[in-house]
Amino acid sequence: MVVVLARIGPVTVYTHDLFTLLGFAAGLALYYRALRRDRVLDSRIVLISLAALLGGAVGARLITSWEILDDINQAGLPLTYVLTHGPRSILGGLAGGYLAIVLSKRALGYTLSTGDYYAAAIPLALAIGRVGCFLSELPLGTPTSLPWGITVAPEAAAAFAYCPGCDGPMHPSMLYEVGFHALAFGILVWRGPMLPVRGDTLKLYLLAYGVFRFLVEFVRGNQVQAFGLTGPQLVLIPLTSLLIAHFARRLLTHAYRLPMPDRPATAPGG
Amino acid sequence: MDMRIADYIRDNRSRYTRQALTDQLLAAGYSREAIDATWAVLDTPDRDATAGPSFWGRFWLFLIGVNVVVFLGVLLLSGMLTALAGGGAILAIILAVALATFALVAWGVVALTRPATLSRRTALAIGAVVPLFFALLVGGTCYALVGGLGVGGPTQKPGTIRLTLEAPLSFDASGSGNCVPQPDGFSIYSGEVGRLDGRPVTVSLDVARAPEAVESLSSNLIIYLLSETPDQQEVSYTSSQATEVTLDPNATAFAGSLTFTDLAPAERLDPSSAPDSADQPISGTLTWKCG
């Protein structure tokens, strides 16, 4: 475990935070490059991007706030503690960012769908960020006897208050996610938009990630909250249901059938 | 430009992707060259409305200016400027390096968008927001890390914290911690000072007092027994009205001791679990030495 990457005097560089920042910068650069390539970069996009960042930051904390509300009440802390110190979730970040984009676009009167430009940027950012999680967080996953199970040193495990499987090999669940996001990124860069309707490629990626994350949670090592499911799994059920409903509606309304253009005029005498 | 292609693209580009529209036009019998030429015409920005090469001169001025302002602002607000001889110089150098690094990142992000070929308003938005965002991110993070040093005040220092608890807990151990001077007192934070019943013990102390009168002090002492397994309960002991804290008259932010009695346990998270010795108030001594 490399929780702290470096100490420079009183300044501590945390591994997780650095990789998060690197992932964010890489994703942002790719996003703007894609917009620029298709000549749809607009000044309003910058404001929408800021709204997405803010919505993602708030959403990442809010979606897990219910897990610590009792603790906050007992400690006599203000409710804003969930925003400043609460646990964070990528799922909440994605949901909060998505909602912020929808609202800000309506507020600015921006009608063009730009979701597909996020489609490659998001898995890139997440792949990089998850490396930071792998290097600095425990447990890595549930105990396993598979040959690729990873064991951590007892001294590293002792630094974490909750690490039930740390005395043996664990599923490297964060690496599973890194692999998924890297594969998704590769496919999206190679293939480009996979569906003809703008924005649906992003939704397809989110649906795929939602299903993948639901399955990975069984070996992630998070605490079970209710019905034998972890917090992220409980959140994923309504989120992926919305995406499934979206695609079902698309198929039922034949949204993927493009209108046919007029045929080109034939040459005179032909 | 083929007007039939142009009309088709204009009517559908807001809903369908470029590739899908191109494929549909190819299927209808239009040539790739005609389609690409039409896209190029529709996508070409108005030269008179672009930012032009002069964008970069203004961008560099703004990038340097905003980072200098953030640098000076953090130096002033955090007290680094008045504590340069006391270690603030090192922090200032670190801040400058961090700002410079992320200024380069901001330049890279902006450069990827080729702002000189964008509209003036778009280029202005990107050229202003991206550097400002990174500068505020770095400056805000540094300020939060360094905290309020106070005018001419020393920085926090690492050291050793020793905690002794009287029966029934009977504990005596020491571990690493930090001593943090505050404008009106000081704070002591420890890492794990030892283990009690297999649980890590940590300590947090905040003292606020008038500089000349030890008697007029207020303190908040918290001792944690952390949980490591799901069946363990995290226990904390905090100052209450019944708690008496006696601070050594010679105590400073960096060295001293205090004795405490009747530090009260916080409410049990699970009232139905069997009571144990953790439910009783505790007394003991806390000693610290930093730097």
pLDDT tens figures, A88-97 = 778 888 888 8
Phi-psi region of A25 (alpha: psi -120 to 50; beta: other; left: phi over 0): alpha
Inter-chain CB proximity B91 and A161 less than 8 Å: no
Interface ipTM? 0.75
A50 touches B at CB < 8 Å = yes
DSSP 3-state percent helix, strand, coil across chain B (nearest 5): 45, 30, 25
Q: What is the pLDDT of residue B2?
A: 85
pLDDT, one tens digit per residue, over B254-285 is 888 899 988 888 754 455 555 555 568 889 99
* pLDDT at residue A184, rounded to an integer: 94
A197 part of contact set with chain B, CB < 8 Å: yes
Which pairs with CB-CB distance under 8 Å and at least 24 residues apart come from A200-203?
A200/A115, A200/A116, A200/A247, A200/A250, A201/A115, A201/A116, A201/A119, A201/B17, A202/A115, A202/A116, A202/A118, A202/A119, A202/A122, A203/A115, A203/A243, A203/A246, A203/A247
Tens-digit pLDDT profile for residues B6-19: 999 999 988 899 99
Instruction: Give burial (CB, 10 Å; 0-12/13-18/19+) of B237.
Output: buried
CB proximity A22 to B under 8 Å: no
Distance in Å from the first CA to the final CA of chain A: 74
Window from A234-248, A250-264, B214-228 with minimum mean pLDDT: B214-228
Mean pLDDT over B105-111 rounds to 89
Select from A32, A47, A261 the Cβ nearest to the Cβ of B113: A32
- Tell me the C-alpha distance between B290 and A23, whole Å: 37
How much is the pLDDT for B168? 78
Q: Is the separation of the CB atoms in A243 and B6 below 8 Å?
A: no
Compute the distance between CA of residue B282 and CA of residue A101 in angstroms, rounded to an integer: 53
Instruction: Count the neighbouring beta carbons within 10 Å of the beta carbon of residue A117.
Output: 25
- Mean pLDDT, to the nearest integer, of A64-68? 67
Q: Give the model confidence (pLDDT) of B28-62 as tens digits.
A: 999 999 999 999 888 776 656 677 777 888 888 88
Has residue B132 got a pLDDT over 90?
A: no
Q: What is the pLDDT of residue A24?
A: 85
Lookup: tokens for B159: 């050291």
Q: Say if the Cβ atoms of B4 and A264 lie within 8 Å.
A: yes
Q: Return the bridge partners of A229, or none.
A: A226
Q: Work out the percent of chain B whose per-residue pLDDT is above 70.
A: 81
pLDDT score for A243: 94
Which residue from B minimizes the CA distance to A41? B122
Per-residue pLDDT for B75 more than 70?
yes
Closest CA to A163 of A142, A136, A134, A133: A142
| Helices A90-108 and A121-136, packing angle to 10 deg | 150
Residue A264's nearest CA partner among B13, B7, B28, B12 is: B28
The per-residue pLDDT for A85 is 60
A11 at interface of B, judged by CB pairs closer than 8 A: yes
Percent of chain B with pLDDT over 90: 15
Half-sphere exposure (Cβ direction) of A192: Cα atoms closer than 13 Å = 10
Cis before A139? omega within 30: yes
Please, what is the average pLDDT of chain B? 80
What is the arithmetic mean of pLDDT over B69-82? 78
Model confidence at B154: pLDDT above 70:
no
Distance from CA of A240 to the nearest CA of B (A): 23
CB proximity A103 to B under 8 Å: no
Residues of A in contact with B15 (CB under 8 A): 113, 197-198
Mean pLDDT on B187-208: 86
Greatest mean pLDDT range, A12-21, A63-72, B41-50, B273-282: A12-21
> Which pLDDT score, from 0 to 100, does residue A123 have?
94
Place of tokens 């778009």: B122
pLDDT at position B100 is 92
Residue B118, min C-alpha distance to chain A (Å):
8
Q: Provide the token pair at B136.
A: 């505020």
- Asked if residue B168 has a cis previous peptide bond (ω within 30° of 0), the answer is yes
Q: B22 and B37 in contact (C-beta within 8 Å)?
A: no
pLDDT bracket for residue A168 (50, 70, 90): confident
Which of A:83-102 have CB within 8 Å of B? none
Alpha-carbon torsion angle A216, A221, A224, A228, nearest 10: 50
CA max distance for chain B? 93
Higher pLDDT, A62 or B286: B286
Judging contacts by C-beta atoms under 8 Å, the chain A residues touching residue B25 are 261
List the beta bridge partners of residue B236.
B224
Q: How confident is the model at residue B129 (pLDDT cuts 50, 70, 90)?
A: confident
Answer whether A261 sits within 8 Å of B4, measured CB to CB. Answer: yes
Contact between chains at A196 and B228 (C-beta distance less than 8 A):
no
Is residue B218 predicted with pLDDT exceeding 60? Answer: yes
Q: What is the pLDDT of residue A209?
A: 94
Q: How many CA atoms lie within 13 A of A175 on its CB side?
A: 10
Task: Judge contact between A121 and A28, C-beta under 8 A.
Answer: yes
Query: Which segment of A65-69, A195-199, B55-59, B106-110 scores lowest on mean pLDDT?
Result: A65-69
For position A269, what pLDDT does the model report? 45
Residue B139 has pLDDT above 70, yes or no: yes
d(CA B213, nearest CA chain A) in Å: 30
Q: Work out the average pLDDT over A71-97.
A: 69
- What mean pLDDT do residues B185-191 have? 85
pLDDT at A154 over 50: yes
Interchain pair A74, B267: CB under 8 A: yes
Q: Give residue A71's pLDDT.
A: 62
What's the mean per-residue pLDDT of chain A?
82
* pLDDT exceeds cutoff 50 at B151: no
C-alpha closest to that of B236 among B222, B219, B246: B222
Q: Does residue B235 surpass a pLDDT of 50? A: yes
Interface test with A, best of B9, B17, B18, B132 (most A CBs within 10 A): B17
Full DSSP string of A97-111: HHHHHHHHHHHHT--
Give the C-alpha separation, B54 to A145, whole Å: 62
Restricting to A residues 222-261, those with a Cβ less than 8 Å away from any Cβ of B are: 223, 258-261
Percent of chain A with pLDDT over 90: 26
Mean pLDDT score, A101-130: 87
The pLDDT, as a whole number, for residue B189 is: 86
Looking at the predicted structure, is the pLDDT value of residue B214 above 70?
Answer: no
Is the pLDDT confidence value at B81 over 70? no
Across the range B214-221, mean pLDDT stands at 67
How far from A245 is each of A114, A119, A242, B84, CA to CA, in Å?
A: 21, 20, 5, 61
For an interface test with B, the pick among A262, A263, A266 (most B C-beta atoms closer than 10 Å) comes out as A262
Of residues A121 and B214, the one with the higher pLDDT is A121
Q: Is B115 helix (H, G, I), strand (E, B) or coil?
A: helix
Confidence grade of residue B25 (pLDDT, cut at 50, 70, 90): very high
Q: Are A87 and A68 in contact (CB under 8 A)?
A: yes
Is B237 in contact with B265 (CB distance < 8 Å)?
Answer: yes
d(CA B90, CA A9) in angstroms, rounded, equals 8
Q: Give A150's pLDDT tier (boundaries 50, 70, 90).
A: confident
* Residues of A whose CB is below 8 A from B26: none
Find which of A9-23, A159-173, B49-63, B141-155 is predicted with most confidence, using mean pLDDT: B49-63
* The pLDDT of residue A136: 78
Beta pairing partners, A244: none
B184-213: average pLDDT: 79
Contact A91, A220 (CB under 8 A): no
Nearest CA in chain A to B145: A11
In chain A, positions 58-77, which contact chain B (CB-CB < 8 Å)? Answer: 74-75
Contacts of B202 in chain A (CB under 8 A): none
Beta bridge partners of A7: A12
